[in-house]
Chains A and B, each alone.
Chain A
Amino acid sequence: MAGSDPTVLDQAAQWLKDGRQVALATVIETWGSAPQPVGSQLVIDADGNFIGSVSGGCVEGAVVTEAIDIISSGRPKTLAFGVADETAWKVGLACGGKIRVYVEPLGA
């Protein structure tokens, strides 16, 4: 499966089994030289622990913050990021790509 890392889903399954509240973030579209392909996933719990990757580090922080909100609201959301923004530049990932990420509560 392109972009998907099966260990991320395994982690998600394990966290659900442990009774944790979990959100799943998936890259659904990329433009330009986005660092992670469509289908890449990040799994997040309500405490902000996360496994996986949607951008190789540039936007994970923002996705995790949104995911915690989505876990409590129960409503999925589509996020859009220009990876080459100022924040990305500061951490050295100004690759010039753009990505859309779908974040949803998992198992709810």
Chain B
Amino acid sequence: MKFDIFEQVLEARTQRKAVALVTQLANGEQRVVARDHAADDILAHVLDEAFRFDRSGVHKVPEGEFFVHIYNPALRLVIIGAVHIAQAVIPIAKAAGYDVVVVDPRGAFATGARFPEITLHAEWPDEILPTLGLDQRTGILALTHDPKIDDPSLHLALKSRVFYIGALGSKKNQAARGQRLMGAGFSEADIGRIHGPIGLNIGAQGAPEIAISIMAEVTRVLRLGS
């Protein structure tokens, strides 16, 4: 791989731009194709699906055999609530390849000492979320239990194309939240996008096990779509 091609791949990652590195296997010739320009490429018919399903692979066409390596933007997990469960989720999410962002306006919770090595915003979600670019490679967890903080986050999540939305809280709390969202003009289908009670039911006890159940559910939705 020539240095300038390698730099293009690294640059795309920094800017959260989806690109494919296409390699002609017979001679090693390579090109970087941006998702926005994939329609112009000779492999346009495979690139669209490859980007959508994050699926790299070898394709044989009359022009030769090509390896299409999809470099989609990094997965990202936005956690609302600098709470104990967030602390347990972060190492699992990071190990699974997510960039983690924690948002909590309560300065006592959102401290660098409690949350080292991640992006931390001690601000209101409705101020910070619009600046993050909530895209299809992003999941959102609302973990505060506090409607003043969780609800505005869910409003913005539901208006975006994030792949996963989860909200902590009992069935009773979920029903009350549903009512509030209805009142705010969201449809039943919108509210159905929220996974709550959050996480797969694995009988989790305590923050680490709850974190496992949450990340298991996030993974299932990412890979299987529901």
> A23-44 toward B: CB 8 Å interface, digit per residue (1/0)?
0101011000000001100000
B56: A residues at CB distance < 8 A: 1-3, 28, 38-39
**In the complex, A106 Cα to B6 Cα: how many Å?**
8
Determine whether the beta carbon of B25 is less than 8 Å from that of A2. no
Interface string of A86-108 (1 = CB under 8 A from B): 00000000000000101011111
Q: With contacts A29-B57, A29-B58 known, is A102 near B2, CB below 8 A? A: no
- A104 B1 Cβ-Cβ under 8 A: yes
Q: A5 interface residue, CB < 8 Å from B?
A: yes
Is there a chain B Cβ closer than 8 Å to A65's Cβ? no
Task: For the complex, give the distance between the alpha carbons of A4 and B56 in Å.
Answer: 10
Are A39 and B69 in touch, CB under 8 angstroms?
A: yes
Among B10, B23, B25, B69, residue most surrounded by chain A Cβ atoms (within 10 Å): B69
A76 contacts B28, C-beta separation under 8 Å? yes
| Interface flag for B135 (CB, 8 Å) | no
B70 partner residues in chain A, CB cutoff 8 A: 1-2, 39
One digit per residue, 1 when the CB lies within 8 angstroms of any chain A CB and 0 when it does not, for chain B 179-217 equals 000000000000000000000000000000000000000
- Which of B1, B3, B58, B74 has a CB less than 8 Å from the CB of A100? B58
The contact of A1 among B3, B25, B72, by CB within 8 Å, is B72
B5 → chain A closest CB, angstroms: 9
Which of under 10, 10 to 19, 20 to 34, or 35 or more describes the interface residues of A?
20 to 34
Judge if A57 is at the interface, Cβ distance under 8 Å.
no
Closest to B26 in A: A78
Q: How far is the CA of A5 from the CA of B97 in the complex (A)?
A: 7
**Distance A5 CA – B21 CA, assembled complex (angstroms):** 15
Q: Is the CB of B10 within 8 A of A13?
A: yes
What residues of chain B have their CB less than 8 Å away from a CB belonging to chain A?
Answer: 1-3, 6, 9-10, 13, 23, 25, 28, 54-58, 67, 69-72, 74, 97
Can you give 5 contacting A-B residue pairs, CB < 8 Å? A2-B70, A6-B97, A29-B58, A105-B1, A107-B2
- Given A1-B70, A9-B9, A29-B57, 20 additional A-B pairs, CB 8 A: A2-B54, A2-B56, A4-B69, A16-B3, A24-B1, A26-B67, A28-B56, A28-B57, A28-B58, A38-B55, A38-B56, A38-B57, A102-B25, A102-B67, A104-B1, A104-B23, A104-B28, A105-B1, A107-B6, A108-B2
